[in-house]
Amino acid sequence: MKPNAILFVDIDETKITHYTYREPHFAAAKKMGLLCLTIARQGRPHTERLFADSDKVYLLESLSSESLHEMVLILQQTYHLRGIFCHAGHASASGQMGCIVAEICQKIGLPHAPSSSIAACNNKFLMRQALQKKGIRSIRYALCHSEKALREQAELIGYPVMVKPPFGAGSAFIKKCHNWPELQSYYRVFTAHYQHSAFTDFLGNIQTYATHEGVEYINQPGQSLLLEEYIDGIEGTVECVSTQVFVHPVLINEKLILTEKQNTVLENLLISPPVSFTATEQEQIRHYAIACIQAVGLKNAIAHLEFRMTADGPVVIEINPRLGGLFVNSAFRDLAGLDPYQLYLAILLQEKEIDSQIKQGQQRAMAAQQHYAMIALYPQNSGYFQGIDNIEYIKQNPCVIECLSQSAGCFINAETEEHYLLRCWAKVHDATHARALHDEILAHVKPIIVPVS
């Protein structure tokens, strides 16, 4: 009898990992009695990471759709592959791996999110189109490829405008522009420096697609930008679980402190459950999140949806076809009583009663009285990160449940992307307590950054 196994396609090749994703899923899989297999690119750096927790690692010359599909067919001769997955929000030089993996799963009959829905989530222009087609509340937007187009479309949308790459992650190159000189200056910085970003891989690859009116667009990484009408309101997130049939909005988080840097927007402090949204507004948010995820067609996935609550109701900022960052995993655990890694595997394995389990977690989260805070410490200036001074001070705080810091020794750009130098998950009484704890961290815990000479 062939042993049961899951397969992960790993494309995170940078010195400092962009995300911790394979490892916790493999830990959950081993508890379920599954073997853990990894496919990665031959010749990539840092292969020791892969061998540390994989039962078997396969290095391929190419991670094309054809080579992956061929390898999967070979593996099926030895293993009963129960699921294939990757970090669906990560594009790379090999293309959108989430879409490639989804297409392979469809070919061999394994449950997965549809390729088209992953593409619509990762490309914010396609997401806006999907919402528009379904009549879901959205905003004015335009995809631009030149200074001339940016200026013309910004005048039509009206200032202030938000500008960002249509693909992206790590809040790289996101800016609120109040006038044309600001927007023009931003575009010149973006085109000159995007290749130097730690998140260049996330900017996707060249793609051609058409609007509902038949107008063709080409997405050119490092040149194409999405302009959006500015959304005024309190910002938050909805952590959703989508099965084959239902969309469950399990958690709502509220962003208490946001910081606008030169070319990025940082999330400094979040609280869950939210404190500013009434019960009626939270119900609105849940219904809206369901409508948005159904509009893009996302199934068999955990999704991280960001929104702002306006005078007319919630308006989506983005939908990510994967588990949220910071401590969203801990929020699932402590507020909903759910292990998101085990949960995602259970969805891929189509386990029975999964919807019932998620509903119970959602009800538990909705009834929660204890508040939790996610706190992030970012660099104030660019340079080489050497560690955190006085980190023990915050680790010894009785409110802090978890505290993680970034690995030292890497160069960080403080103005164009987010870098979680330190992040904490803590119990708090309310928003006032959360803000006080955040301020305490800033006062006593300092990142050590050596500027470039």
DSSP string, 344-392: HHHHHTT-TTHHHHHHHHHHHHHH---EEEEEEE--SS-EEEEEEETHH
**Cα-based distances in Å from 208 to 78, 95, 307:** 39, 13, 27
CA 30 – CA 52 distance, rounded (Å): 14
**How many other CB atoms are found less than 10 A from the CB of residue 400?**
17
CA 15 – CA 149 distance, rounded (Å): 37
pLDDT of residue 112: 95
The string of pLDDT tens digits covering residues 290-303 is 999 999 999 999 99
pLDDT of residue 210: 65
- In degrees, rounded to 5, the angle at the alpha carbon of residue 344 between the alpha carbons of residues 341 and 350 is 140
CA 22 – CA 25 distance, rounded (Å): 5
The string of pLDDT tens digits covering residues 178-188 is 999 999 998 99
Q: Give pLDDT tens digits along the chain (453 positions).
A: 899 999 999 988 877 777 789 999 999 999 999 999 999 999 988 899 999 999 999 999 999 999 999 999 999 999 999 999 999 987 776 678 999 999 999 999 999 999 999 999 988 999 999 999 999 999 999 999 899 999 999 999 999 999 998 886 656 678 899 999 999 998 998 888 776 665 566 666 667 766 666 667 777 776 789 999 999 999 999 999 999 999 999 999 999 998 877 766 778 899 999 999 999 999 999 999 999 999 999 999 999 999 999 999 999 999 999 999 889 999 999 999 999 999 999 999 999 899 999 999 999 999 999 999 999 888 887 888 888 888 888 889 999 999 988 877 777 776 666 677 889 999 999 999 999 999 999 899 888 888 876
DSSP H/E element including 253: strand 247-260
CA 306 – CA 254 distance, rounded (Å): 10
How long, in residues, is the chain? 453
Phi-psi region of 406 (alpha: psi -120 to 50; beta: other; left: phi over 0): beta
pLDDT of residue 381: 79
User: What is the pTM for the complete model shown?
Assistant: 0.92
pLDDT of residue 419: 73
Query: By three-state DSSP, how is residue 338 classified?
Result: coil
The tally of CA atoms less than 13 A away on the side-chain side of residue 265 is: 13
**Cα-based distances in Å from 86 to 33, 101, 235, 344:** 20, 7, 28, 12
